[in-house]
Amino acid sequence: MLVTESFTDVPTATTPMRLHWFTPTLLLDPANASTKLCSILVFTEIYQVTGPVARFCRQIAAQGFLVASCESYHNFLEPGTVLAYDVPGTDLGNQLKKDKRLSSYDDDATAAITALLAHPNANGRVGVTGMCLGGHLAFRAAMDPRVGAAVCYFGTDIHSETLGAKPREAGEVESLARCSDIRGEILMIFGTKDPHVPRQGRRSIYDGLTEAKVDFTWMELKADHAFIRDESSKGT
């Protein structure tokens, strides 16, 4: 299925956030103006909407979904900024990941989900997904009662509670402590060779979801971190 790309800037509690849209081209036909589709919000790695992330979004949209991906670092970077898969890009992405407030990440998710559901072709059903930083953000976004399903690829900093600025401000609660707020289904995917989420870290996430009685499926593959990327991947 052909896919059309566009972007909008949506307001957040801090600065405007760019949403990259990937929608089936058939929606441009006036005959399909009333067509309603499910929506998917894609959270990115620390590099923002790179080529691999955009291709990931296109693949989903080509299956008949409305897809949007947000730029999490809008608080710090100009709209449209993409960080390179190199040492400087990685260092900056990791630093910004720690500088941004946890509450700002949550505000972003709320704004993006609201924008997706306001799309004229949205049918009211929304899922979330993401990888690396985005896997964690999808995990937190799944706590929004409007989200029916989540797929989280090797989400970092969940077990270590190291996402976002410290010390925490009032109302900022760690992800595992809040996972009982997840109402939909969630799929957690990890690589057993991933140094960012070691065995004990995966164990704590699994146990936290189990104790909170979350409806989840667990998958571990013999792979390193970032194996879902089709470029600059750490592979299997």
With tokens 């709209």, the residue in question is 79
Enumerate residues 6+ apart whose C-beta is below 8 A from 70: 17, 18, 19, 20, 41, 43, 44, 108, 112
Ranges of each domain in the chain: 3-221
Contact between residue 82 and residue 50 where contact means Cβ atoms under 8 Å apart: yes
Q: Which of 106, 108, 144, 194 is flagged as catalytic?
A: 194
Question: Binning pLDDT at 50, 70 and 90, where does residue 231 land?
Answer: confident
Output the pTM of the full model.
Answer: 0.96
The CA–CA distances, whole Å, from 152 to 26, 35, 73 equal 29, 28, 20
pLDDT attached to residue 232 = 78
Q: Which of 20, 74, 136, 225 is flagged as catalytic?
A: 225
Give the containing element (helix H, strand E) for 145.
none
Residue 225 falls in the annotated catalytic set: yes
Question: Binning pLDDT at 50, 70 and 90, where does residue 235 land?
Answer: low
By C-alpha distance, which of 83, 55, 69 is closest to 17?
A: 69
Q: Which of 38, 132, 152, 179 is flagged as catalytic?
A: 132
Q: What is the pLDDT of residues 101-126, one digit of tens each?
A: 999 999 999 999 999 999 999 999 99
Contact between residue 40 and residue 65 where contact means Cβ atoms under 8 Å apart: yes
Distance, CA of 150 to CA of 226 (rounded, Å): 18
What CATH code would you report for 3-221? 3.40.50.1820
Residue 136 falls in the annotated catalytic set: no
